[in-house]
A and B are shown apart, each in its own frame.
Chain A
Amino acid sequence: MAGQTLYDKLWSEHLVKNRDDGSSLLYIDRHILHEVTSPQAFEGLRLAKRKPWRTDTNIATTDHNISTDINERKGGVSGIPDKTSQIQVKTLNDNCTLFGIREFQMNDPGQGIVHVMGPELGATMPGMTVVCGDSHTATHGAIGCLAHGIGTSEVEHVLATQCLITKKMKNMRILVDGELAFGVTPKDVILSIIGHIGTAGGTGYAIEFAGQVFEEMSIEGRMTVCNMAIEAGARVGMVAVDDKTIEYCSNREFGPNKSQIDYAIKSWRNLRSDKDAIFDKEVTLSADDMEPQVTWGTSPEMVCSVTDKIPNPKSFESVDRQKSYDSALKYMNLRPGILMTEISIDKVFIGSCTNSRIEDLREAAEVVKGRQVASSIKQALVVPGSQMVKSQAEREGLDKIFKRSGLEWREPGCSMCLAMNSDKLNPGEHCASTSNRNFEGRQGNGGRTHLMSPSMAAAAAIFGRIADVRQITQGNQ
């Protein structure tokens, strides 16, 4: 019999039963809640007079709607400028109190974007099944757990039964070997992958990222990669457990205690695909020729190297593709054939669950240090992913570097990733963004998003246009 993949192992360890109708009942170890996708689930529980199956498995925080402005934040819930946002945040607070769920409220030291906060507190651990009403839950797979997004009905279902009704996905492995060149980051790796397999390339699969590049990557970097598995169409992204995972996951607040840790580590060591495991689909890419990536369109697959020109839609065979590329260029107000580095930038956003961890902020600070944001930039935000990241960055003096260079230092939250709070693009503005989605209107109505790495976004802030970060940082070396 062939060996098992990491996904197969995680699946079978959590399988309560296969049902007659072809679906399966999967046990859920950790459930993370936030204010946007939970109110209707709690309402459902209340209406049906149900209680959560277990409370010690749920953890909640508020991130999407809250203000990241330092002064507004001081005003607490009532300091949130938008009334409907206030209601949503307050509803989460009330529901958590009512149902006895541990919540990190807006200004608590543990608060942060759900996918930054979870691993950092040790609320998510290797070997767990993790769900959250948010598609970027795949992030947590970076530490060798099975994590994916669920809808609000499923949030209610998990609250009430501790299980998810689901079907087993297929196995896919993305193998990237070789060395990443100077200036090429985990964000560039995942954008290259998406450019290669397309936004539906992983649909129906659980992706395991394997190979030298991921082995050498930090846990933070792996999170950036797994985070965007969903942009490659897959609900699940994973990396096998290794020494780095174990080091990262030991000594976390909600992780195993002293008497449990040795035993835990022993079991985590098994969380990797067997050598003879068979994948339904394999994609192999070489790291050697990867360059810093930037998106030019309205889907993450519309991406190219910073040194490239915007492609001509006519150069693609499929008519579907021609049409969607055409309309993307129209929306972005860009012409085929111009160099990526000719695109002017109005705003810069460094943050989101993709790129707001300490390593990302260090990377961006390195670029802006001793330089000034271009005068044409209307706003440049740096938004740490959590309170813990924020304090760490402040201990290292990164906040001062950013402020001195003319970037704003904000409070943790989703911020300009999705325009549900006050951080938004205005119609027509181009944004250099470290987030994960460049859909029409994602960062604000009519806003135009260019996805890139933190160092590339920092370089864009300095030049006022898309710029090749390697030209700046080479000099730093």
Chain B
Amino acid sequence: MVNSITTHTGIVAPIDRVNVDTDMIIPKQFLKSIKRTGFGQNLFDELRYLDVGYPEQNCSSRPLNMKFPLNQERYEHASILLTRKNFGCGSSREHAPWALEDYGFKVLIAPSFADIFYNNCFKNGILPITLVDSEVEFLFEKLYSTENFSLCIDLVNQSVKSNFGEEFEFKFIIDSFYKDCLIQGLDEIDLTLKDREAIKKFEKQREKICPWIFGAIK
């Protein structure tokens, strides 16, 4: 079951760089886990800590890189991540959204996201919002000049709004399919299995056309 989102208000943290790849989000040594949870403490591990992390370690006594935003007090309770273009590029590891979600991020804002990562976010209850460059730039400026900068996200009306102070509102575009999935927190497998008969019918047809695809691997 996926967590549903309709509206969300939260503190914004910056990752001010382009092309943040999934290996930066969760380095490969943590991919050795066979579980889905517990990745939050290793989110951005190489940027966040000064030593090298390893799986299932107690991270509370590791030396922190205090230059990294997530280690700074003002971003401590951040749940919205503001970043630059092509976020989530590289390997298709779903551990990336798992780590972001486990850490507490619900919304990501960037000018663009990598395809597979974008897809994976929705499957794990994270809302990736694409805004145009100038809007993202504006938010970065606001974020740096405002203490406890927070935003209101309204998925139903597809808008990003100021939470206090100067008023602004940016509309974003999102696919209705993704939107519904997040709002309703749907289990996709159940949804697909409602079409069980259609799949079976298709499969029979396919077996007629390409018999070599069936029964080959035993």
At the interface, yes or no: A435 with Cβ under 8 Å from chain B? no
B32 near A84 with CB under 8 A, answer yes
At the interface, yes or no: A43 with Cβ under 8 Å from chain B? yes
B212 near A167 with CB under 8 A, answer no
Residues of B within 8 A of A299 (CB): 19
Residues from 16 to 30 in B contacting A, C-beta threshold 8 Å: 17-19, 21, 23-24, 27-29
A135 near B116 with CB under 8 A, answer yes
Partner of A16, one of B32, B34, B180, B198: B198
Partner of B112, one of A48, A58, A200: A200
A40 near B36 with CB under 8 A, answer yes
At the interface, yes or no: A152 with Cβ under 8 Å from chain B? yes
Residues of B within 8 A of A160 (CB): 189, 192-193
Of the 9-residue stretches A178-186, A207-215, A252-260, A460-468, which lies at the interface with chain B? A252-260
At the interface, yes or no: A50 with Cβ under 8 Å from chain B? yes
In Å, the complex CA distance between A440 and B28 comes to: 12
Q: Which 5 A-B pairs have the closest CB atoms?
A: A256-B212, A39-B34, A151-B94, A135-B92, A21-B177
Distance (Å) between the CB of A105 and the closest chain B CB?
15
At the interface, yes or no: B203 with Cβ under 8 Å from chain A? yes
A40 near B35 with CB under 8 A, answer yes
What residues of chain A have their CB less than 8 Å away from a CB belonging to chain B? 16-17, 19, 21-23, 25, 27, 29-30, 36-37, 39-40, 43, 48, 50, 53, 56-59, 64-65, 82, 84-85, 87-88, 91, 102, 122-123, 125, 127-128, 133-135, 149-154, 156-157, 160-163, 165, 167, 199-200, 203-204, 233-235, 254-257, 260, 264, 267, 299, 320, 323-324, 327, 418-420, 437, 439-442, 445
In Å, the complex CA distance between A380 and B192 comes to: 49
Of the 9-residue stretches B7-15, B74-82, B83-91, B99-107, which lies at the interface with chain A? B83-91
In Å, the complex CA distance between A445 and B89 comes to: 19
A235 near B115 with CB under 8 A, answer yes
What residues of chain B have their CB less than 8 Å away from a CB belonging to chain A? 17-19, 21, 23-24, 27-29, 31-36, 46, 52, 55-56, 84-86, 89-94, 112, 114-116, 119-120, 123-124, 175-177, 180, 188-189, 191-193, 195, 198-199, 202-203, 206, 209-218
A163 near B192 with CB under 8 A, answer yes
B189 near A156 with CB under 8 A, answer yes
A56 near B28 with CB under 8 A, answer no
Q: A16-B195, A91-B34 are in contact. Are A200 and B86 (CB under 8 A)?
A: yes
Distance (Å) between the CB of B87 and the closest chain A CB?
11
B94 near A153 with CB under 8 A, answer yes
Residues of A within 8 A of B35 (CB): 39-40, 43
Q: A22-B175, A40-B34, A327-B17 are in contact. Are A439 and B90 (CB under 8 A)?
A: yes
17 A-B residue contacts at CB 8 Å? A37-B93, A43-B34, A53-B199, A122-B216, A150-B92, A153-B123, A153-B188, A156-B189, A160-B193, A163-B195, A233-B86, A235-B115, A256-B212, A320-B84, A437-B90, A439-B90, A445-B52
Partner of A43, one of B21, B36, B189: B36
In Å, the complex CA distance between A232 and B93 comes to: 18
Closest to A205 in B: B115
A153 near B120 with CB under 8 A, answer yes
In Å, the complex CA distance between A217 and B55 comes to: 43
